[in-house]
Amino acid sequence: MRAVIFVNGTILDYTQLVRWLRPDDYLIAADGGARHCAALGILPAVLVGDLDSITPELLAEYEQAGVAIERHPPRKDETDLELAVRRAVADGATEILLLGALGGRLDQTLANLLLPARQEWTVPILLADGRQLARVVRGGESVTIRGAEGDTVSVVPMSAEVTGITYTGLEYPLVDATLRLGSTQGVSNRMAGESATIRIASGILLVVQESGA
């Protein structure tokens, strides 16, 4: 089961967002992320958070519609998104996609980007924004990216260093390379065909693909 979590970030184009949704997705709204569900005319299965960012009118609508409400106190140690991720895992998600996780407050955006890199998650967490899809690759793992020739692919280290970086199918290949935190060497590569593979030996790497269509 794939869970899609709507986050209270900025979404400029809902037509781009719809492309990421599937009919059988398990939808979760992280507090103010409920506004994106409302804009799309869909109901989440669950609303999670301290509910300080959702309007009283929308909350009442959800309660009347039978949406499960997981309310948390305002004084808490986790963000609404982290609580929503934990709920998705507890409900049996095998993959989690975050929508609306970027924009707005810089601290929230950075926290949302770093959240998928935590070692404790038992399921992959991806993040989509517009035509971009981001995923985390950990040491010993590989990822195959499918798209179109010319799609932009960037890799960004999320640990002190990432070793053994090897990718094929990109315009500028790397073989057993090491990138350190803060390096921009892996930014703005391009797919040479319809697929590419990225492998790493150790560390945590963020892989971002931007589709041209």
User: In Å, how far are 49, 71, 82, 193 from 75, measured between CA atoms?
Assistant: 11, 12, 14, 50
pLDDT at 76: 87
Cα–Cα distance between 109 and 103 in angstroms, integer? 6
Give me the residues paired with residue 41 across strands: none
User: In Å, how far are 45, 100, 110, 166 from 144, measured between CA atoms?
Assistant: 31, 24, 25, 12
146: its two tokens: 């499918």
Q: Name the residue with tokens 């315009």.
A: 171
Give me the residues paired with residue 146 across strands: 195
- Statement: the pTM of the whole predicted model exceeds 0.95: no
How many CA atoms lie within 13 Å of 114's alpha carbon, on the beta-carbon side? 9
The tens place of each residue's pLDDT in the chain, 213 residues long, gives: 999 999 999 998 899 889 999 999 999 999 999 999 999 999 999 999 999 999 999 999 999 999 999 999 988 889 999 999 999 999 999 999 999 998 878 888 888 888 888 878 889 999 999 999 999 999 999 999 999 999 999 999 999 999 999 999 999 999 999 999 999 999 999 999 999 999 999 999 999 999 876
pLDDT at 119: 77
pLDDT at 61: 95
Local structure of residue 202 (DSSP, 8 states): B
Give me the residues paired with residue 168 across strands: 197
Cα–Cα distance between 33 and 137 in angstroms, integer? 26
User: In Å, how far are 46, 118, 163 from 180, measured between CA atoms?
Assistant: 39, 18, 9
pLDDT at 213: 61
pLDDT at 8: 93
Phi-psi region of 116 (alpha: psi -120 to 50; beta: other; left: phi over 0): alpha
